[in-house]
Amino acid sequence: MKIVLTGSLGNIGKPLTKLLVEGGHQVTVISSKKERVSEIENLGAFAAVGSIKDVEFLTEKFRGVDAVYLMEAWEGIGSLFDKEIDFLAEFKKVAQNYVTAVQLSGVKKIIHLSSVGAHSDQGNGSLLVHYNVEQILQTLPESVSIKFMRPVGFFSNIYRWLPMIQSKGKIIQSYGGTRKEPWVSPYDIAATIAEEMEKPFNGRTVHYIASDEVSPNEISSVLGKSIGDPDLEWKVVPGVELLDQMLSAGINEWIATGMVAMQKAQGDGSLYEDFYANKPTFGKVKLEDFAKEFVQIYNQKIN
């Protein structure tokens, strides 16, 4: 198949590109950065430099292909420290760009990277953007088949805590304890999407993706042991305290408020109600596997 991937070579895009090329597909990777071209081509894919905010560019790249993989990277929308950006509005614009490009190009098969929490417009914090995008994509004609992929929280997002772990010796969040929640590796997301590309596309379907099920206390214990700090603590602070910390750090107010609301839903389990009602088979990468990767990055940061 001829496949176009948005999202460049990120945590998912790179392994996904490798898998699809190895599967014999003709893959074009859209990236906004010219410096990515050689890396994309070295993987055996074609590079297309442009912006997902450019409808004409998207339409040109989508035309004549068998399937497209659509995603909206937060980094591609704007900086989390940009206090002026309206993330809800910007995500909606990108989604509408996709709708227009799909219709003008005639492509009929879409795999969309959404998120856990996209099943509802309530109680999901900043994940509301993914609900909105799904709803906009749903306005496409019924002749366009869409597979909505809803991964849970990424193991790789834990790297954002590295400065906190190194400076404070703790993981500080507004929820925690022994309640287990699902996590996913980008490698399992890529593998699942590659598999779905090979399967029939019929109508609109939802696919949750997860790798492991662990509690906050288990995460701090496993990661602490991996870095030689068996006493690494997952400390729970009031949501208002975490919000103040993020705002003081200069994070966009809507993002900060949304993250605290999302953590509340993680803590009481409400974020995962639809996930557990449609629980998938878990992937191969477990917390212990991620810990082996984590310690390497941790050591690079402190050396």
User: Which of 138, 55, 144 shows the shortest CA–CA distance to 94?
Assistant: 55
Average pLDDT over residues 23-35: 96
Enumerate the H helices of 106-252 as residue ranges. Answer: 128-137, 162-168, 186-198, 216-226, 239-248
Asked whether the beta carbons of 300 and 232 are under 8 A apart, the reply is no
Is 93 in contact with 132 (CB distance < 8 Å)? no
Amino acid 77: pLDDT:
83
Domains and CATH numbers, the chain: 2-153+184-210 (3.40.50.720)
pLDDT of 72-110, one tens digit each?
877 778 888 999 999 999 999 999 999 999 999 999 999
* pLDDT above 90: residue 54: yes
Mean pLDDT for the stretch of residues 149-163: 96
Instruction: Using CB atoms within 10 Å of the CB of residue 126, give its burial: 0 to 12 exposed, 13 to 18 middle, 19+ buried.
Output: buried
Question: What are the respective helix, strand and coil percentages of the chain, to the nearest 5?
Answer: 50, 15, 35
Cα–Cα distance, 281 to 189 (Å, whole number): 12
Residue 118: its pLDDT value, please? Answer: 97
Asked whether residue 301 carries a pLDDT value surpassing 90, the answer given is no
Whether residue 131 has pLDDT greater than 70: yes
DSSP for residue 84:
S
Tell me the pLDDT tens digit for each residue of 192-245: 999 999 999 999 999 999 999 999 999 999 999 999 999 999 999 999 999 999
pLDDT at 303 over 80: no
pLDDT averaged over every residue in the chain: 96
Indicate if the alpha-carbon torsion angle 264, 170, 241, 248 is positive or negative: negative
**Is the pLDDT reported for residue 302 higher than 80?**
no
pLDDT attached to residue 141:
97
Question: What count of other Cβ atoms lies within 10 Å of the Cβ of residue 276?
Answer: 10
